[in-house]
Structure 1
Amino acid sequence: MPIRHSIIHLIDKKPDGSPAVLHTSERELFESQARDNLLTDLNESYNAKQGKAWGFFHEESGAYPLSGWLRAYLDNTQDFIGFTWQATEHLQKLMEETNLSVGGHVFIAHYQQGMTDYLVIALLHHSEGMAVSAALNVSPVKHLDLGQLHLAARINISEWRNNPKSRQYISFIKGKNGRRINDYFRDFIGCQEGIDAPSETRTLLKAFSDFVESEDLSEDQAREKTATLVGYASAQAKHGEPISLEELAALIDEEHPTAFYDFIRNKDYGLSPEIPADKRTIKQFQRFTARTEGMSISFESHLLGNKVEFDHAGGTLVIRDLPTQLVEQLKRAGASS
């Protein structure tokens, strides 16, 4: 994960309402294992966060200037340090206006992962801890607490530059710290939501369920393909990468690597070729599937105890909210009998 540039500034803002004080660094972080570990650990913490959102830049304006400053840096009309000064000063201004957030260390890094360039901006905080010195004395120590990462965003620079119509090249933590706090950081980035990750993931899972049923697969085959989907999607979510429908289709059916992808396109589910993976939705997905003479039953695990109830003693299922099409078929069958 080569780091092109990285820097840390400090916005010293107390929760007592006193004005924020900005301390800017005049030099980038020098190359070190500690710097590399910081970015690696930050990305791991960021990828593990629930409740992220995906979107794209607002049109550049006085209210949303970051995209213009970033473009100037990438076009070499502004250096990296100057760009980060502008960004951090703007963040400080928004902090003052909201008067809702305490300050912290602003970490900004431009790095490459594979063939893709990213920019990450995160507000980091410290936690108190204890350390034992070489003289075996105990002393208090502060350390960066990446587990308490609440305000951060990651911009896929390559996607933004090469596919300007994309609506998902920015991700940011929506978090649980209050809507106004999250809104001010989203406004700092200049981002508007473009993709609803849980909804997109649910649509993908619905398409997969329809595909499995259309293929008339055995129980073992359906279970194997479900495990493949969940494994791939979970791995993508863990690494902060989107689900590629073409990659997924090739994994699901090696003999017919485009079958699932063609099914999605032909049925017009409205999915983009790549969608963000929502970890929580994926985790809930598991199919109970069984087939017996004249009957096939298949449903997702999250429906159990809700629309589907299982009676352990009697070995029976109670299904509520039947599909309208099935209800109509049963009514017609009852009327004709």
Structure 2
Amino acid sequence: MPIRHSIIHQIDKKPDGSPAVLQLSGTELHESQATENMLHDLNLAYNAKTGKGWGFFHAQSGAFPLSGWLQTFIDGGDFIEFSITAVEHLTRLMEESNLSVGGHVLFAHYQQGMTEYLVVALLQHSESVTVNADLSVTPSKHLDFGNIHLATRINLSEWRNNPQSRQYISFLKGSKGRKATDYFRDFIGCQEGVDGPGETRTLLKAFSDFVAAEDLHEDSAREKTQALVSYSMAQAKIGEPIALDELSELIDEDRPKAFYDFIRNKDYGLSPEIPADKRTLNQYRRFTGRTNGLSISFESHMLGSAIEYDAEAGSLLMRDLPTQLRDQLKRASA
């Protein structure tokens, strides 16, 4: 993971409402194993976070200036100057919101494979204890990557090469409500372009329809489900989107375009690449069973809502039956 530029500034802001104090760095971080480890640990923590948003830049304006400053840097501008201008803007927005404490602000421009990224993250410290060489103990501080609430990762290659994309920016939505994070989204100048959980649910619905249309044997359906979940979770782990053509190949090696063509022909409205939402994927598991001409298959999240299970009677109560099935039953009972 070649790191092209990286720098850390500090915003000292207390929760008591006192003015923020900005401490600027005039030098980039040196290329070192420690810097690489820091960025690696940050990426791991960021990828593991659920509740991300995906979007794209607002048109550059006085309210949303970051994309213009970033473009100037990409076109050959100075990285330190870009980071200082950006963190000063972030500090002003933080003051206005009065809902955030400060921290160390990391700007890192790096390359992963053939793709360039910019990550901006507000990092906090945690107190811990270390054992010295003489076996005494002293308090120490370390960056708490598990406690990241404000961060964004911008796919610079996607932004530059595919300006029509609506998902080249990802950002943490945070667990403290929108008011606590809106100022950071304003700092990015980002509008949400893709509903990650919604897109993932649509993909899973398309897969369920595909399994039903193919009339797959239970073992085959389970195998393909495992392929879908494993690939999607692996993509989420490394912060990469689900590529529908790759997924289609994994689901059916003998007919690598079958699932991809099914999605396109049914027009589910999915982009060729969609963000993988880990929370939605974690909830996804199918209950399936066949016996004496009866075939039942449903997603786990339906249990307790649309479907109720009576363990004592060994029966299922199903609501909201598909329209096509209800029409068939009406005709059969007429």
Place the TM-score, normalised by the shorter chain, in its bin: over 0.9
Secondary structure of 2:167's counterpart equals coil
Q: Name 1:299's counterpart in structure 2.
A: 298
Question: Is 1:27 matched with 2:27?
Answer: yes
Q: What's 1:41 paired with?
A: 41
Instruction: Give 1:71 deviation, angstroms.
Output: 0.5
Gaps of 5+ in 1: none
Instruction: Provide the TM-score with structure 1 as the length reference.
Output: 0.97
Give the match for residue 101 of structure 1.
100
Q: How far apart, CA to CA, are the structure 2 residues paired with 1:258 and 1:152?
A: 37
Counterpart residue identity of residue 52, structure 2: K
Q: Quick check: 19-28 or 290-299, which moved more?
A: 290-299
Q: Does 1:156 align with 2:155?
A: yes
Q: Deviations over 1:200-239 (max 9, x none)?
A: 0000000001111111111110010000000000111111
Give 3-state SS (helix, strand or coil) of 1:123's partner.
Answer: strand
Equivalent residue for 1:226? 225
Q: Alpha-carbon deviation of 1:310?
A: 2.4
TM-score by length of 2: 0.98
3-state secondary structure, aligned to 1:175: coil
Rounded to whole Å, the distance in 1 between the matches of 2:186 and 2:129 is 37
What aligned pairs does 1:131-210 form with structure 2 within 5 A after superposition? 131-210=130-209
CA deviation after TM superposition for structure 1 residue 17, in Å: 1.4
Q: How does 1:1-337 map to 2 (within 5 A)?
A: 1-76=1-76, 78-335=77-334
CA RMSD in angstroms comes to: 1.1
Partner of 1:172, secondary structure, is strand
- The Cα shift of 1:138 comes to 2.1
CA distance in 2, matches of 1:235, 1:133: 39
- Report the CA distance between 1:183 and its aligned residue: 0.5
SS of 1:43's equivalent? helix
Q: CA deviation at 1:294?
A: 2.9
State the secondary structure of the residue aligned to 2:240.
Answer: coil
Greater displacement, 304-313 / 26-35: 304-313
1:44-69 residue CA offsets vs partner (Å, 9 max, x unmatched): 10011111100000000011000001
Matching residue's letter, 1:98: S
SS in 1 for 2:181: helix
Runs of 4+ in 1 over 6 A off after TM superposition: none
Distance of 1:180 and 1:309 partners within structure 2: 38
Alpha-carbon distance between aligned partners in 2 of 1:219 and 1:292, rounded to the nearest angstrom: 11
Farther-moved stretch of structure 1 (202-211 vs 94-103): 94-103
How far 1:281 sits from its partner (Å)? 0.7
Secondary structure, aligned partner of 2:26: coil
